[in-house]
Amino acid sequence: MRVIHRPLISLQEGCWFKLIGGASYQHLPSIRNLALAYALAGADCIDVAADPAVVKAVKEAFSVLSRLRHQPAFIAQCAVDIPTELPLLMVSFSDGDDPHFRKAQFDPQQCPADCSRPCEAICPAAAIAFEPPMTGVIEARCYGCGRCLPVCPIQQIETVTRATSVQAVASTLLNEVDAIEIHTQVGRYDAFMALWSALQPYLNNLTVISISCPDHDQAIAYLWQLYEGIQPLSVPLIWQTDGRSMSGDIGKGTTHATLRFAEKVLRAGPPGYVQLAGGTNAHTATKLRDVVATTGLPATGPTFAGVGYGSFARHLLSPLLDEDALCPPLAAIATPTSPGDHSDELDPAIALPQLLQAVQLAQSLVVPLKAIRRPAVTSPQVPLGEPREWVTASTEPPVYRHSSRF
C-alpha cells in the first residue's frame, strides 16, 4: 500500500521547497498572495507567524486554490500543473530572543525635518512611512530584518520582541496547522526543552517538526544535544541551517553562509533532514548541487532535504503583494451553491493576469530546486510518520488527506 503525500516525498527526494512567510510578518494581503502564488507553483510548506489571523489568511489562500483547480478557464491559462495536495502549513516559535521575532520602532516626531529618511529607503518591506495616516513603523509589515537600525542618522530606531507565547495559542492554533518550527541558538538547551515540554501535548497532531539554528563553533554538539533530548520522535525532523538571516534579497553571495553550515551538519550532525535557509536566493539551487554531489554522508546520518526561501521569495513578488484582488479575503470569494458545484466562470474577485504573473515568478524559484531530485528512500532514522486519514479509490493507490486539504 503506497502513501502519496507530496511534501514528505519532496523531503525524501531532496527537493523540499519551503516558503518562509516571516515569523513576525503579519501583513495579511501579502501573506494571502504569497501563499497562493507559491502553493500554485508547487511549494511543499508555507511557514508563517504563530498568529491566528495569519494562519487564517493562509487558509483563505488555500480555499482560493481549491476553487481554482476546478475551473477550466483558469487551468487553461495556467502554465503549471496545479498541485493535487496543498503545502504543509507551519508556524514558528522561539525559545528566546531572536531577530526573526522582533519589530523595529521609533518616534517619527523626533526625526529631523531635513532627514533624508534612509530608513524608509532601505526597508525591504515598505514598513516605514512618513505620510499620514501611517507614520513610523507599520508593525504588520515589519519582519525584523534590522537594516534600518544602522542607517538612522540619530540612532533612534530600536527593536522590540513580538514572539508568540505557546500557552496563549497552543490549544487552538496547533490544531489548525500541520507543522511547527522552533528557533533556537547554541547555549539555550534548558529554554528549548521548556518550550518543547509546553508543545509536547500537541506533537502527535503534527506532520513535521523543524528546528532552526544559526551557525556556531559548538553548533554540531548542540544539535546532537537537542536530538537526544527530544527522543523519541515519530515524525520527520528537519534541521534548518540558518545562515545569514533575512538577507536573500541583498545579493547572490548571501547564500554561502547557509551552504557552509548545511555541509557541516550533513557531515557531522544528528539524524534528520537538512534544509537551507537564511540568505537563500535564486543562486542557491545551483550552488548546492556541488554540496550534494561532493559531501560524503554516513549511512545513518542526516539527509539533504531542500531549501527555505524567505526575504528573496517575498522580494520576487513584491510588486504584487499588496493587491487584495490577487488573493482576496475569504469573505470576497464566491462560494459554491452546493458541495459539488464548481462554476466554470472565474471568480470576479480574483485578478487573473496578476495571479498568473505571480505564479510564473514563483515558479522561477521553485523549478530549479525541484530539478535537484533523487530517488525517494525512507531512512529508519527519519520516519515519515503515520497518516491521519485515508481516502481510497478503487482504481488508484491510497491518497493521504489532511483536514486542510482538498
**C-beta of residue 137 within 8 angstroms of C-beta of residue 24:** no
Least confident residue range of 4-8, 117-121, 170-174, 289-293: 289-293
Q: What is the mean pLDDT of residues 242-266?
A: 88
Gap between the Cα atoms of 84 and 364, Å rounded: 20
Tell whether 41 is covered by a domain: yes
**C-beta of residue 381 within 8 angstroms of C-beta of residue 303:** no
Gap between the Cα atoms of 402 and 389, Å rounded: 7
How confident is residue 332, by pLDDT bands cut at 50, 70 and 90?
low
> Which triple of cell numbers denotes residue 347?
471568480
What pTM, to 2 d.p., does this model score? 0.88
**Cβ neighbourhood burial of 108 (10 Å; 0-12, 13-18, 19+):** middle
Query: Per-residue b/e over 269-306, b at no fewer than 16 CB within 10 Å?
Result: bbbbbbbbbbbbbbbbbebbeebeeeeeeeeebbbbbb
Q: Are residues 203 and 169 in the same domain?
A: yes
pLDDT at 297: 56
Q: Are residues 77 and 137 in the same domain?
A: no
Give, as one character, the DSSP assignment of residue 232.
S
Q: Are residues 62 and 197 in the same domain?
A: yes
Q: Are residues 189 and 157 in the same domain?
A: no
How confident is residue 166, by pLDDT bands cut at 50, 70 and 90?
confident
Which CATH number is 179's domain given? 3.20.20.70
Q: What is the mean pLDDT of residues 40-62?
A: 95
Gap between the Cα atoms of 192 and 57, Å rounded: 29
**C-beta of residue 238 within 8 angstroms of C-beta of residue 305:** yes
pLDDT digit string, tens, across residues 179-201 = 999 999 999 999 999 999 999 99
Distance of CA 156 to the CA centre of its chain: 31
How confident is residue 324, by pLDDT bands cut at 50, 70 and 90?
confident
pLDDT digit string, tens, across residues 116-157 = 999 999 999 899 999 888 889 998 898 889 999 999 999 999
* Domains: count for the chain: 2
Torsion of CA 99, 170, 49, 68, to 10 degrees: 160
pLDDT digit string, tens, across residues 337-370 = 445 555 545 666 787 888 889 999 999 999 999 9
Give, as one character, the DSSP assignment of residue 4.
B
What is the DSSP track for 285-321? HHHHHHHHHH----TTS-EEEEEEE-HHHHHHTGGGT
Q: Are residues 79 and 25 in the same domain?
A: yes
pLDDT at 340: 53
How confident is residue 333, by pLDDT bands cut at 50, 70 and 90?
low
Residue 1 has pLDDT above 50, yes or no: no
Q: Are residues 229 and 92 in the same domain?
A: yes
Q: Helix (H, G, I), strand (E, B), or coil: what is residue 213?
A: strand
State the chain's maximal CA–CA distance in angstroms.
72
Which CATH number is 152's domain given? 3.30.70.20
**Cβ neighbourhood burial of 21 (10 Å; 0-12, 13-18, 19+):** buried
Gap between the Cα atoms of 162 and 174, Å rounded: 19
Residue of 405, 261, 337, 345 lying closest to 68 (CA atoms): 345
Residue 67 has pLDDT above 60, yes or no: yes
Tell me which of 161, 183, 212 is where a domain ends.
Answer: 161
**Cβ neighbourhood burial of 247 (10 Å; 0-12, 13-18, 19+):** buried
**C-beta of residue 209 within 8 angstroms of C-beta of residue 180:** yes
Tell whether 406 is covered by a domain: no
Q: Are residues 57 and 145 in the same domain?
A: no
Domain that holds residue 116: 99-161
pLDDT at 328: 77
